[in-house]
Structure 1
Amino acid sequence: MSKELITKKKKIKDLLLNPSSLSQLQMVLPNVGITKERMVRLMFSALNQAPKLLEATPNTLLNSMILSASLGLEPNTPLGHAYLIPFRQTDKTTGDKTMTVQFIIGYKGFLSLARRSGEIAFISSHVVREGDTFEYQYGTEEFVKHIPADGEGEITHAYCVARLKDGSSAFEIMTKKQIDGIRARSTARNSGPWVTDYEQMARKTAIRRLMNYLPLSIEMARAVAVDSKQEIGETGMDELADIIDVDFATEAEEEKPAKESKLSGMAKKAKRDNGGPPEQAKPKATEPELTDEKDEPFPEVGDEPELTLAQESVANIPSELLKLARVELNIYTAIPELNNETCLALSKRSNIIADRKSSLQI
């Protein structure tokens, strides 16, 4: 790793652990069981797994993290809630290219936000493939009928259906041509989930379109606004002006002494006038030069034990579902002590319980 990237790595580390940044995270986090320490840990993990993010401007990196936190979505985890994608953005005026971070919400992130709204009893999204039986009708007697075939044909459509707690329902159908048109306008069309997880992005696109007709929570409205901007080739960050209040210079700057307040100056003058000893200048702290040998992975934050990816997936299961899954499987081991097989069993059982509860609510 070059000396320049090591310097950026240290600056980003200092930025994320800065009390101001942590305070900002705490203010924007919704009450969904995610702490500011966990969000920083997830960001460190994302940077360790995708070092190219280090080349991005620190502002876009931090803003993406705050945006993810404000929605209560975990970025770059097996949950598939959201993704941080590095890409080069060209300035339309100067033609200069800058590495920035694109925050993309996954379909599971939209489903999570929809279920949190408190108004939706059931929501589901799928893709239709060649060979499937697929029928739908608009009008006074609307319906969707989808019977998947056994094969894995090419994707032809994506759709989302939802039922509200008042009994009303709605659905949105999109053709592959419509989906690809949206992908073509995205700044991250040639990288990230549009390349690695096309099916999930197609499902997400249908969900997002359906949200235009459903009651939205504050978080969901913000997510829809950001995703709508991305559909027309913008980043969507301008929608976050009301929650982002952190800035970070991309160029290294010499640390400047804090400006002395008027009250502090008056206190020092009074001390001198009363015969007190003069103020002693504090020695300036020196920082060792960064070298390639000093490069280390980002540290973990807080007192939480380090979890495997499988354990983190279990930790993110809603507490009510996890409790029921533990009872049904008779598993009461602490999460840091669970093996991968047990984590998978708990995750599957939680999904079964969630589907069972959704079916009862329809």
Structure 2
Amino acid sequence: MSDLKGRVQQATGGTDDEQPEQAPVTDLAVSDTALQWLQSRATYFTDALPRHVDKAHFMSVALSVMPNLERCTHASVHQAFLACARFGLEPDGRQAAIIPYGEVATFQPMYQGLIELMYRHPRVDSVHFGWVRERDQWDYTPTEPSPRDFFHKPRVDLTEEERGPVILAYAFAWIDGRRSQVIILNRPQAEQIRNKYSKAYKKAERNNTKDSPWHTDFDAMWAKSCVLRLRKVVPTSTELAELVEMDDDLDDTTSAPPVIRGTVLARDDQAPGEDGAERQPWPTTAEPGSASREAGEQE
């Protein structure tokens, strides 16, 4: 699948409606080299994780993504996993995803990840995101006091197709027992955000590649834009502000990759051309199904 959603699902083995599961590993040699590489750098990622994130689970999810990143450079894979760890987001395709674009592994925070960071603020009780479809029952009257200003009742008696196309994305939070302003974003508004702010979209349009996230999975970016607007009306942690700033940098494909604060790369993790470093091959295994100690020592 060529679209962003397809690449996320391929990288995580999941779908929109179910938790991703690790795909069966058929090439044990590849599994060994991936595990070997991750283990040699485990402390980089686990030391960066917030205390509430289980280290073993994070590394397990990271390992499940590795087979799809074989052709990516060490530096980009390292940076992508470190970004996930820095913000405590699992690369499971729901909170965040690591998408291979050629030889570059790219960290892509998802709207669920932004919501996860909002939840971490002590004043935020809950965060809700939803889609309004054409045949749903809904009403928005901004002059009414909260929470009577907004109402949405999905047609549970109908399938999504029967409910009609999505017409609105909305998000709100409960803060100190009170509901925040409801953020509503229709499709034309999402397109305006895309056209005005997305450098990746503009570049893909100029090059006629149509491969930016806005091209390949418009709905995901629509949802993300809605949640990004919500952050302006909820208490914002330094962590969330940093993620939003990094996400802006990631969208600018014409600039150098953003630097993760606190990152220290081993020499073989440097990008090609930096201090004369060359791209290193992935470690090799002596036999399928067994890790090579010798290769690990060379790494």
Contact 2:126–2:174 at 8 Å: present in 1 too? Answer: yes
8 Å contact from structure 1 (residues 211, 224) kept in 2:
no
* Aligned with residue 63 of structure 1, among 72, 79, 90: 79
Contact in 1 for aligned 2:132/2:167 (Cα 8 Å): yes
User: Is 2:263 the counterpart of 1:244?
Assistant: yes
**Corresponding residue for residue 228 of structure 2:** 208
8 Å contact from structure 2 (residues 48, 85) kept in 1: yes
CA 1:166/1:15 → structure 2, altered by over 3 Å: closer, same or farther?
A: same
- AA of the residue aligned to 2:180: S
Q: Quote the Cα distance in structure 1 between the aligned partners of 2:256 and 2:241.
A: 13
CA distance in 2, matches of 1:200, 1:14: 33
Relative to the length of structure 2, the TM-score reads 0.65
Larger Rg: 1
Q: Unaligned 5+ residue runs, structure 2?
A: 1-27, 202-209, 273-277, 293-299
| Aligned CA distance change for structure 1 residues 27 and 66 (closer, same or farther; 3 Å) | same
Cα distance in structure 1, aligned partners of 2:142 and 2:116 = 27
- Alignment of 1:148 with 2:160, yes or no, is no
CA offsets per residue over residues 66-93 of structure 1, 9 Å max, x none? 110111111126xx211111114xxxxx
In the other structure, the counterpart of 2:50 is 30
Q: Work out the percentage of aligned pairs sharing the same amino acid.
A: 20
Q: Measured at CA, do residues 253 and 65 of structure 1 come closer, stay the same or move farther in structure 2, by a change above 3 Å?
A: closer
Partner of 1:75: 91
Q: Which has the higher contact order (CA 8 A, sep 6+)?
A: 2
2:105 alignment partner in structure 1: 101
Q: What residue in structure 1 maps to residue 6 of structure 2?
A: none
CA contact (8 A) 2:58 2:90 kept: yes
**CA pair 228-127 structure 1, distance change in 2 beyond 3 A:** farther
- For the 8 Å contact 1:28–1:69, the answer to whether it is kept is yes
Map 1:1-362 to 2 at 5 A.
14-18=36-40, 21-35=41-55, 37-48=56-67, 50=68, 53-76=69-92, 80-88=94-102, 99-138=103-142, 141=145, 143-149=149-155, 150=158, 151-165=162-176, 167=178, 169-180=180-191, 185=198, 187=200, 190=211, 195=216, 199-231=219-251, 237-238=257-258, 240-247=259-266, 248-249=269-270, 251=278, 294=287
Q: What's the offset of the Cα at 1:235?
A: 8.3
Amino acid at match of 1:17: Q
- TM-score (norm: length of structure 1): 0.55
Letter of the 2:154 counterpart = P
Change (3 A) 1:204 1:111: same
Structure 1 residue 158 displacement after superposition: 0.7
Aligned length: 239
- Structure 1: 5+ residue runs without aligned partners? 1-5, 89-98, 255-288, 300-362
Contact in 2 for aligned 1:44/1:298 (Cα 8 Å): no
Matched position secondary structure for 2:174: strand
